Amino acid sequence: MTENRPHQPPRLPFVERGQLLCYLHETWALTDWLFSSVVDRSLFLQRPDPLRNPLVFYLGHPAAFYLNKLRLAGLLEDGLDDELDELLARGVDPAHRRELDGQGGWPSAEVVWRYRDEARRLVEEVVERGPTTLEIDASSPYWAILMALEHERIHFETSSVLLRQAPLGALRRPVGWCYAPSDGPSTSDATTGRREALASSAQSQTSSSALDDPTQESDASVHLPEQRVRVGRGAGAPIFGWDNEFGELECAVTAFYASRTLVRNRDFLRFVEAGGYHEPRYWSAEGWRWRTEQRALAPRFWRQSADGVRYRAMFDELALPLSWPVEVNHYEAEAYCAYRGDGWRLPSEAEQLALTQLTLPAAVDAIDVDRFNLNLRHGSPRASVVSGDEPLADAFGNVWQWLADDFYPLPGFRPHRLYEDFSAPYFGAAHKMMLGGSWASTGACASRFYRLWFRPYFYQHAGFRLVRSAE
């Protein structure tokens, strides 16, 4: 994606001060680079996603997090501004948009940029007056700095999803941001049999024969034998990890089949064309309620135009890249599985780890492997295609992969004292899991051990793979 791709996170336990400063500067620069795309400053006070805070919050939130956590760890005595330190401290996870109604009093982007610059100065001073070599583990006060760095990288990715939902006219693609090669149809191809894809989906009079004949995708599946996998990481990991990653759970995985590629835009387009968004039998009760309330007719990042279906990339609209993985929420992924029938479903966490191990040995962390679309290798997904000696495509990276599992704690889970509500409030059926990372995942977010969760109607750079039991 860029000539200077992000570095790997510091290796533990011994971290050179210069290395930590380098990682700090790079992390800060990523956020600055992303938000430099906003050319209409009024966008900062808007909510591109109605279930999120105004964009200005996400500009300042990582900076407030540094200050608050460093104070908690005893590395700082004071913050910068009591009001901003508090206002920008906590994100939102609403079940309904009305929970955010009535909010007001947000500062201007200029105020928050200055706050961010001052926070960076304070954090740099903390690192610079520390030892030349820092010994860092989860009990060290300097764990707070690693936590804040990885937290900012999480928000680089989630903020990119918000910007992707903003009006194109409010944004300008930053210098150095490059998309992966696209195989979108030409204008002539798009207008032949595809022009009315979303428009025809909006008609409820879909023929039953079309609905009863799910697509016969040509991709083969791969067979995975019965095996045992370990979920989680042990103590003494070589890079930073969040509390929900620690602990180990050994799981028996029965034999199953998995699609060799992620479900692609071309596959999901057939579901849309067949009227899948108007057929309740493919949707869970909660999913159908979401679809009708939102009047959804297609994935959020698709657009209908006179030239056919268009695709909203980060800062531009493209012809729909047919071989790129589709990006959907959990409800849409479930509905597609039901449409395909024949027992196809979303994988469990244990099954997903079994898939990962096909191409990533257990002793290797994904951030050490350059062949996956991670760490901003591209500024977008890329084609989900099996190539070379790989048994399947995208075992890791490209887009996050939705799982069937609710977010759950591993045995022996203990919240970290510096961030006790990072994971614990979200365990349960209200949040579904993802694994694998996306093109926008950097640092510890690109680790094979990182476990992500979101409400099933939220969007990330997330898609899915099909699996079914072998029995």
Please state whether the peptide bond connecting residue 238 to the residue before it is cis, i.e. omega within 30 degrees of 0.
no
Q: Which residues of the chain have pLDDT under 50?
A: 1-3, 187-218
Smallest Cα–Cα separation from 351: which of 429, 256, 264, 431?
256
* Domain topology for 187-469: paralog of FGE (formylglycine-generating enzyme) (3.90.1580)
Mean pLDDT over the full length of the chain: 90
What pLDDT, on the 0 to 100 scale, is given for residue 236? 81
If you ran DSSP here, which 8-state letter would residue 14 be given? E
Alpha helices in 341-396 (DSSP H): 349-359
Strands 400-407 and 462-463: parallel
As a whole number of angstroms, the distance between CA 78 and CA 93 comes to 28
pTM of the model: 0.92
What count of other Cβ atoms lies within 10 Å of the Cβ of residue 468? 18
Question: Would you list the DSSP string of 417-456?
Answer: TT-TTSSGGG-EEEEEEEES--TT--GGGGSTT--EEE-T
What pLDDT, on the 0 to 100 scale, is given for residue 306? 85
470: Cβ–Cβ under 8 A, 6 or more apart, which residues? Answer: 223, 254, 255, 256, 257
How confident is the model over 429-463, as pLDDT tens digits?
A: 999 999 999 999 999 999 999 999 999 999 999 99
Contact 14/45 with Cβ under 8 angstroms? no
Contact 356/436 with Cβ under 8 angstroms? yes
If you ran DSSP here, which 8-state letter would residue 470 be given? -
Strands 227-231 and 249-253: antiparallel
What pLDDT, on the 0 to 100 scale, is given for residue 191? 31
Contact 108/56 with Cβ under 8 angstroms? yes
As a whole number of angstroms, the distance between CA 439 and CA 396 comes to 10
Secondary structure E strands in 232-279? 249-253, 256-259
Alpha helices in 54-207 (DSSP H): 55-72, 82-87, 109-128, 143-164, 187-190, 197-201
What pLDDT, on the 0 to 100 scale, is given for residue 148? 98
| Residue that the structure tokens 């493209």 belong to | 318
Q: Where in the chain is the domain with CATH 1.20.120.450?
A: 14-98+107-170
CATH of domain 14-98+107-170: 1.20.120.450
Contact 391/358 with Cβ under 8 angstroms? yes
Q: Where in the chain is the domain with CATH 3.90.1580.10?
A: 187-469
How confident is the model over 10-53, as pLDDT tens digits?
A: 999 999 999 999 999 999 999 999 999 999 999 999 999 999 99
What count of other Cβ atoms lies within 10 Å of the Cβ of residue 123? 22
93: Cβ–Cβ under 8 A, 6 or more apart, which residues? Answer: 426, 455
Strands 302-305 and 249-253: unpaired
